[in-house]
Amino acid sequence: MRETVPLETLVAAAAGLLILARGGMELWLERLNQRHVRAHADAVPEAFKDTVDPATYAKAVEYTLAKSRFRQVEAGYDALLVMAVLFSGLLPGFYGAVVGSLGGSVWAAAGALFIIGVTLALAGLPLEWHAQFHLEARFGFNTTTARLWWLDRLKGLLLGLGLGYPLLALVLKLVDWTGPRWWLWAWACVLGVQLLMAVLAPVLILPLFNKFTPLPEGALRERLLALARKTNFRARSIQLMDGSKRSRHSNAFFTGFGRFRKIVLFDTLVEQLAEAELAAVLAHEIGHFKKKHIVKMLALSAAGLLAGLYLLSWLAGQAWFYRAFGFAPGSLAPAFLLFGLLSGAATFWLSPLVNVWSRHCEYQADAYAAAAMDEPGSLIGALRKLSQKNLSNLTPHPLYSGFHYSHPTLLERERALRQRSNRG
């Protein structure tokens, strides 16, 4: 008589296949993109021949290929690490030892999860170090020091200990307080903390990592304030952030809510762009606010969090989920741990859908910026300069772009802006 394969064995096999499928897909996408980039490496694309010199384009191709090779190593390493953690048999023993040494409370269970998370983060530090001090430094982007790099990670660890650890313990305790509907209460608590941090982070957390100074009086400040008035965008201040102490990459954003909202420009951005181009970049960020993209993003994130916690609560009630990875059923904390290790392999396949929505928002913000500036040229000029300064890939493979690009490519954004201008 044929023996039935235990359900937990099938679950473990399915999980392993899912992890390997993601890793394999990432490796294949990188290889696909490498071939596509090399096929266009001989000459500057026709659309950019007037604005990108051959030397800069060649360096951008080299940077793209170097990053792609590194991501292949990273994808393989991550897949092997997760496989080893899940299927070596060490995880249940390590978790049990930590809980046993700390006691049987939710604080002990949360502490075990926190320690395991920190241990996995430590395993990734060599790759992070290589990316910063070898890859980025090779192409002239790295400006951070070893001391600052380690301080950043120490601060992140302390913030996780002070904020994340108590929140995790609270969520685990909600099972005792609220019963089977704990996931609804957990969702409300986590969402509340996220919204609170969105208000407090610009005031309490961001200054721990960067220095913020008011934009000096002058023509640029007046131009940006005039744009804010024109678009009826109220901000408490316009500030410069010392992004140059870590990298030569640049950015701009606004942060906070209500009277705490402030416009932030990287100092590298101010150095790289002309005043009109900076105004166009700010108009783009204002466009995200006016089109309610931030609110929609928060709503989408909240819906994803709710769905994830509901799925976690269901899995936590299935004995086969625990046994598939060597845990004894009953405690919620191991389910959290397993869910965290496996969720990335599942949500990876949703990346193209998320990116479609994100790109739609970017197109809308671009259109808003062009209308606010009464012309698209300033934004196009800013996008081109930023692409050159950041050595962006001008010729990504469409499938690779679909999985990895939350923003449209430079050529796609230019086409959309020019088409809108022609219709106008």
- Give pLDDT, residue 50: 83
- Give pLDDT, residue 424: 56
Which phi and psi angles does 42 have, rounded to 5°? Answer: -70, -30
- Give pLDDT, residue 353: 96
C-beta separation of 22 from 97 below 8 A: no
User: How large is the average pLDDT for residues 360-384?
Assistant: 95
Q: Which domains does the chain show, CATH number per domain?
A: 210-268 (3.30.2010.10)
As annotated, the active-site residues are 285, 366
Percent of the chain with pLDDT over 70: 97
Measured CA angle at 122 (ends 136, 62), to 5 deg:
20
User: How large is the average pLDDT for residues 316-345?
Assistant: 94
User: How large is the average pLDDT for residues 379-394?
Assistant: 93
Q: Is 90 helix (H, G, I), strand (E, B) or coil?
A: helix
The answer to whether the predicted template modeling score (pTM) of the entire model surpasses 0.85 is yes
User: How large is the average pLDDT for residues 292-304?
Assistant: 93
Query: Contacts from 128-135 at CB under 8 Å and sequence distance 24+?
Result: 130/70, 131/70, 135/66, 135/67, 135/70
At 51, which amino acid appears? T
C-beta separation of 307 from 339 below 8 A: no
pLDDT in tens, 100-147: 888 878 999 999 999 999 999 999 999 999 999 999 999 999 999 999
Percent of the chain with pLDDT over 90: 76
C-beta separation of 193 from 162 below 8 A: no
pLDDT in tens, 193-238: 998 888 888 888 989 999 999 888 889 999 998 998 899 987 777 8
φ/ψ bin of 262: left (φ > 0), alpha (ψ from -120 to 50), beta (otherwise):
beta
Rounded to an integer, what distance in angstroms lies between the CA atom of residue 175 and that of residue 181?
A: 8
Question: Looking at the predicted structure, is the pLDDT value of residue 420 above 80?
Answer: no
Question: Looking at the predicted structure, is the pLDDT value of residue 421 above 90?
Answer: no
41-50, 256-265, 316-325, 383-392: the lowest-pLDDT one: 256-265
At 395, which amino acid appears? T
164-178, 205-219, 258-272, 280-294: the lowest-pLDDT one: 258-272
Residue 374 structure tokens: 């009464």
Tell me the Cα Rg of the chain.
Answer: 24
Measured CA angle at 382 (ends 379, 388), to 5 deg:
140
Residue 216 CB coordination number (10 Å): 9
- Give pLDDT, residue 87: 94
Residue 11 structure tokens: 């679950």
What's the farthest any 2 CA atoms get from each other in the chain?
A: 86
User: How large is the average pLDDT for residues 301-307?
Assistant: 95
Residue 54 CB coordination number (10 Å): 11
Residue 162 structure tokens: 């002070």
- Give pLDDT, residue 1: 45
- Give pLDDT, residue 258: 63
Residue 258 structure tokens: 């209500």
C-beta separation of 212 from 239 below 8 A: yes
- Give pLDDT, residue 164: 93
